[in-house]
Structure 1
């Protein structure tokens, strides 16, 4: 696995091949400088990508709820991460575990969550390109919000349960602490960024300040990139 280094000019196509849907995120990951990220951060940093594998990238959320808020994104366009896992299960497990462990070791706790979209519905996701949030917040508190909202959670023993929802062909919500996984198939249309707002509630962030389209936390992104790169250099492997 190859971490990116902001001290060098690197194309995001160096590892693997980008095959995406033409969205802003896809353009950013392909190396374009005409993106929301480039316009917002104006070259500081030049990239929010922390590392790549042939099929995945680990990046910092464009407006982190808290320092250490990361996203795992596939390079090919998928509506949900469950479908991506079916195509490269070992690689997906390796990257997910690496992100989970780094956040937990660095910040003390971790939660992973995803709005899994389908071809017909977004499932509350802000974008329909698959992306998994990994951040330092108590997963139990997110699950408590989901239970309060009566989402009907199924429980599994590990994150491999992602693959069990891949064939459902309907949106899902997934939350995990890296060991236990909770999945819901909402029966009603949810507000956009539902799980992001639930994480914000757990972190004490008032509405609507969790909405990345309204509030950009530049210092948190820059601090996350700085902290990560202080421990990981080009040439490291996982």
Structure 2
């Protein structure tokens, strides 16, 4: 999909933010992959060792995928949660939205965040606005399947969710990044677009890539 930032980066040689910023540093940022998914370090490393898990093909949300695809994504997510534990206490979150709905972060290509936070923190503290708790990430996606707009956060084993198509509320772009920045009183910005051209934390993560890339 030509106008998608992630499609431009992973399916074509078109203009993409990472390629533009890091063209003299690294050819790509893939640290792990499966048949249909890749794991990449996040541009805007609020917490060093933060990653995104995303499908290579254009799909707008994680929950909309087939059960088979979600199972494959879960396997790669589990691998990256284990990897992230070297940096902190991993949590996962997604602000899923379709382009028709118009919510989310502005890139309507499914992406799940895996973020190592400094201290073990209950999901209820980070996401008190959730309306339901489910047993794991697989259950969260099953529950939200078909929803054009939703939020989910947890440690992968226990997840808190809110279906924004039935319980809208006010949840701006990069909602969870804003929340983490406030909760941990970070000096760095929540807005990934405001980070410097080359992040030193990104470079450190990329140096570890050879050990994990398939």
Q: TM-score range by the shorter chain?
A: 0.7 to 0.9
Residue 129 of structure 1 deviates from its aligned partner by: 0.7
Does residue 14 of structure 2 align to residue 36 of structure 1? no
Q: What corresponds to 2:36 in structure 1?
A: 55
Q: What corresponds to 1:163 in structure 2?
A: 142
Distance in 2 (alpha carbons) for counterparts of 1:24 and 1:152: 29
Residue 22 of structure 1 deviates from its aligned partner by: 3.9
What is the number of equivalent residue pairs in this alignment?
A: 208
Does residue 67 of structure 2 align to residue 86 of structure 1? yes
What is the RMSD computed on CA atoms of the aligned residues?
A: 2.2
Structure 1: which 4+ aligned runs deviate by more than 3 Å?
138-143
Q: What corresponds to 1:69 in structure 2?
A: 50
Distance 1:134 1:163, change over 3 A: same
Does residue 113 of structure 2 align to residue 124 of structure 1? no
Does residue 89 of structure 2 align to residue 109 of structure 1? yes
Residue 145 of structure 1 deviates from its aligned partner by: 3.7
Distance in 2 (alpha carbons) for counterparts of 1:174 and 1:51: 23
Q: Which moved more, 1:174-183 or 1:197-206?
A: 197-206
Distance in 2 (alpha carbons) for counterparts of 1:184 and 1:193: 15
Structure 2: runs of 5 or more not aligned: none
Does residue 157 of structure 2 align to residue 176 of structure 1? no
Residue 146 of structure 1 deviates from its aligned partner by: 2.5
Structure 1: runs of 5 or more not aligned: 1-19
Contact kept in structure 2, 1:63 and 1:220, CA below 8 Å: no
Contact kept in structure 2, 1:45 and 1:222, CA below 8 Å: no
What is the TM-score when the length of structure 2 is the normalising length? 0.86
Distance in 1 (alpha carbons) for counterparts of 2:154 and 2:38: 20
What is the CA deviation profile of residues 150-171 of structure 1, one whole-angstrom value per residue up to 9, with x for unaligned ones? Answer: x24310111111122012x331
